[in-house]
Amino acid sequence: APRVPPTRLALHHFDSSYSLHLGALWPSVRAALLCEQKYGALLNSFAAADHVPRELQLLNAADFISEAPRKAQHWQQDAAVGEARGCQEGSGEGRTVVQEGMMTQAEMSPPLCTSVSSKIKCYTFPRGDITRFRPARPDALGLLDYYLLDAASLLPVLALNVQPGDFVLDLCAAPGGKTLALLQTGCCGHLAANDVSVSRTKRLYRILHSYVPKEVRDTVSVTSYDGRVWDQMGGGTFHKVLVDVPCTTDRHSATEEDNNIFHKRRTKERQMLPMLQLQLLMAGILAARPGGAVVYSTCSLSPLQNQCVVQ
């Protein structure tokens, strides 16, 4: 029988499971997964590159973080209008839809340390525009001016809401985009960046050396422990813990044959992912001090890897 590519297996799995989970949204989400990846440019506040924001604005890119509160307020106003119309029309069905779609201001705009939201800048092009950013350039000291990443990767960092002086643990840190974003907040009293993979940890080191000055790197400890047993190294010590776990990485699984977790040789590994994720989340909880906060995140749409693990 002809060999079935892992990308096709992944897409078949997504079609059968996500179509049930997402319903009418799935065709749009499916198209987005299969489209060319769209990057954001995380500005490096450590680099002497004051000209970069102006340069990006001239290209019609905008800082999506500063735009978010305005958009959230706009969405809330639209929802309120919709609710009023539903009530006026007296349609029970219309009211139900509006109520299910409504979010409170607190839900749409989670409380963020103002210093965090003002210091992290990430520029993206408008919807429908997949213009590529130029490669990052070094400043006079050799620090690169921005880091390209999926802009959604910043959402867990913002949700962590790091406060000045916080001890922070990034339990599954490599390749390093979220670690770099945490340092951009300027709030980390100490940052522990850990990843079980030695090769991925080397990539993390390269990113730190390319973007972060030595005096800031000295506040970061990079380790290669198995995150599941982190509490044996020191539990209950961190104010904030980010647990960005290994997952099916849906976009990669649907588009890339190399290192694809849907390869038949990796079937057991894929099936064990929720257990691994649960163990990492538990280790993250044990690493946090009483009153601390833990953010769990994936880059998968799977309820088994998200809601079920948290429950």
In a domain, 83, yes or no: no
- Going from the C-alpha of 177 to that of each of 147, 148, 154, 160, 193, the distances in angstroms are 8, 8, 8, 15, 11
279 vs 76 pLDDT, higher one: 279
pLDDT at 123 over 70: yes
- Is 187 an annotated catalytic residue? no
- Residue 288 labelled as part of a binding site: no
177 is an annotated ligand-binding site residue: yes
- pLDDT score recorded for residue 257: 93
Establish if 179 belongs to a structural domain. yes
Q: Is the pLDDT of residue 169 over 60?
A: yes
Range of the domain at 296: 31-73+118-309
Q: Is position 218 annotated in a ligand binding site?
A: no
| Annotated binding residue 244 | yes
- For residue 148, what are the β-bridge partners? 41
pLDDT tens, 46-63? 999 899 999 999 999 999
- Residue 162 pLDDT exceeds 50: yes
Whether pLDDT at 109 is above 60: no
Judge whether 47 lies within some domain.
yes
* Cα 194 to Cα 40, 52, 233, 244, distances in angstroms: 24, 31, 12, 11
CATH of the domain at 209: 3.40.50.150
What mean pLDDT comes out for the span 54-73? Answer: 84
In a domain, 93, yes or no: no
Say how many domains are in the chain.
1
User: What pLDDT does 231 receive?
Assistant: 80
Sorted by sequence, the CB contacts under 8 Å of residue 111 that are 6+ apart come out as: 161
Distance from C-alpha of 12 to C-alpha of 198, rounded to nearest angstrom: 33
53 is in an annotated binding site: no
> Is residue 210 included in any domain, yes or no?
yes
Question: How much is the pLDDT for 7?
Answer: 95
Q: What is the pLDDT of residue 232?
A: 82
Q: Is 244 left (phi over 0), alpha (psi -120 to 50) or beta?
A: beta
Identify the pLDDT of residue 94. 32
Instruction: Let me know if residue 166 belongs to a domain.
Output: yes
Location of structure tokens 């921005």: 146
Question: In this model, does residue 134 exceed pLDDT 70?
Answer: yes
176 annotated among ligand-binding-site residues? yes
Q: pTM above 0.95?
A: no
What is the pLDDT, as a whole number, of residue 236?
87
165 annotated ligand-binding residue: no
Q: Quote the mean pLDDT of the chain.
A: 87
Q: What is the average pLDDT across 223-227?
A: 95
Please check whether residue 236 is in contact with residue 288, taking contact to mean a CB–CB distance below 8 angstroms: yes
Residue 21 in domain: no
Let me know if residue 170 belongs to a domain: yes
Confirm whether residue 38 is marked as ligand binding. Answer: no
In the set 35, 113, 188, 299, the catalytic residue is 299
